[in-house]
Amino acid sequence: MSDDATRVSPLHQRHQALGAKMADFGGWSMPVEYPGGGVVREHTAVRERVGLFDVSHLGKAVVRGPEARDFVNACLTNDLDRIEPGQAQYTMCCADDGGVLDDLIAYLVSEDEVFLIPNAANTATVVQRLRDAAPDGVEVSDEHTGHAVLAVQGPRSEEVLRALGLPVDLSFMSFVDASWQGQTVRVCRTGYTGERGFELVPAWGDAEAVWDALSEAAASLEGLPCGLGARDTLRTEMGYALHGNDLGPDITPVMARTVWAVGWDKPTFWGKDVLTRERAAKSGPLARGLRLTGRGIPRAGCTVLDAQGEAVGEVTSGTFSPTLRHGIALALLDRAVKEGDAVEVDVRGRRLSAQVVKPPFVEAHTTT
């Protein structure tokens, strides 16, 4: 720990040695970018070759006990009955009013064990909500600092894992526990960049050894260590939601257009009644993509205006796309606004022209 308020990953000294620019992410001091080119160079490495991320600030929790799968399935939005042990699933933890308390990945280990990776700042909330609802015999453990999470992302990610003798023949959203130098590493074919890639989950104390081996292998392929700045531009190009921006207590799965991760036919999940009514009502704002047609960078909180200059929504995430070389954004817009419409984004009094589009902004390669 760096101080009483801020946590650090097991790779903190590695980041400092590399001269990383650090910032707070959910109460954790994590690398934003590294010297030598920063976000754009790191972003490009992932799109063209391979990048290595430390995302150990993400939470880790385990639900164990008889019929743990059925218990989690009755709580979170997506339907765990759609997958088999050894597969993972994107899902959400909602409040009773339908707001999103967190979005997370659920890894189905067995009928009696589900491994969860929530967002850093929301881990305690998710764990406590599950604990409060757990039946006798089902244990919910917070293992936030029990495991590290290292992401290897990009078209050459398989080559990096092969150099370590780790398995790569996995279908998208599947995982396997592998042995590496006597250590157990969970290898997951998941990611948050839109590129083919993997996330490795070693024990906290093994993280440095795994990181060093990955770094050496990636460097031989012109890969780079990447900070969370590049992670944000990569996920925005994909149109992936970020909790706290594009999802939250006031932004439901219906509004965020993440209803594909809701098991509507399940008997129950937290917030189901409210979300079912909201979905049927077909009212309220919806998430859309914005592609700027001129210079400028949209930012979260900027007002979106229609052709008549009337406010029709707000940007939830905005950035400069290193791939497209212009501004892009995710926004919550009135339902009257349609794909193809011309709008403007008010950036501190300056109006930037944009077109409403359907994400992703660039082609995804997660399943290739």
Domains and CATH numbers, the chain: 7-53+146-237 (3.30.1360.120), 61-142 (3.30.70.1400), 284-368 (2.40.30.110)
Q: pTM (2 decimals)?
A: 0.97
pLDDT of residue 3: 43
Residue 93 half-sphere exposure toward CB, CA atoms < 13 A = 22
Alpha helices in 152-284 (DSSP H): 157-163, 207-219, 228-238, 253-256, 272-281
Give, as one character, the DSSP assignment of residue 360.
P
Burial 64-95 (b: 16+ CB within 10 A, else e): beeebbebbbbbbbbbbeebeeebbbbbbbbe
Tens of pLDDT, residues 102-132: 999 999 999 999 999 999 999 999 999 999 9
**Residue 277 to residue 299: CA distance in whole angstroms:** 32
- Give the residues of the chain that fall short of pLDDT 70: 1-4
**What's the Cα-to-Cα distance from 356 to each of 112, 290, 300, 317, rounded to whole Å?**
45, 5, 16, 14
**What's the Cα-to-Cα distance from 250 to each of 61, 271, 359, rounded to whole Å?**
25, 13, 22
Q: Which residues touch 130 (CB under 8 Å, ≥6 apart)?
A: 61, 63, 72, 75, 140
DSSP assignments along 100-160, one per residue? EEEEEEEEEEETTEEEEE--GGGHHHHHHHHHHHPPTT-EEEE-TTTB--EEEESTTHHHH
pLDDT of residue 276: 98
Sheet holding 139-142, edge to edge: 87-94, 100-110, 113-117, 61-64, 139-142
pLDDT of residue 1: 41
The answer to whether the CB of 355 falls within 8 A of the CB of 307 is no
Of 201, 288, 185, 292, the closest CA to residue 241 belongs to 288
pLDDT of residue 4: 53
Give, as one character, the DSSP assignment of residue 3.
S
What tokens appear for 251 in the block? Answer: 């932004």
pLDDT of residue 5: 76
Tens of pLDDT, residues 125-169: 999 999 999 999 999 999 999 999 999 999 999 999 999 999 999
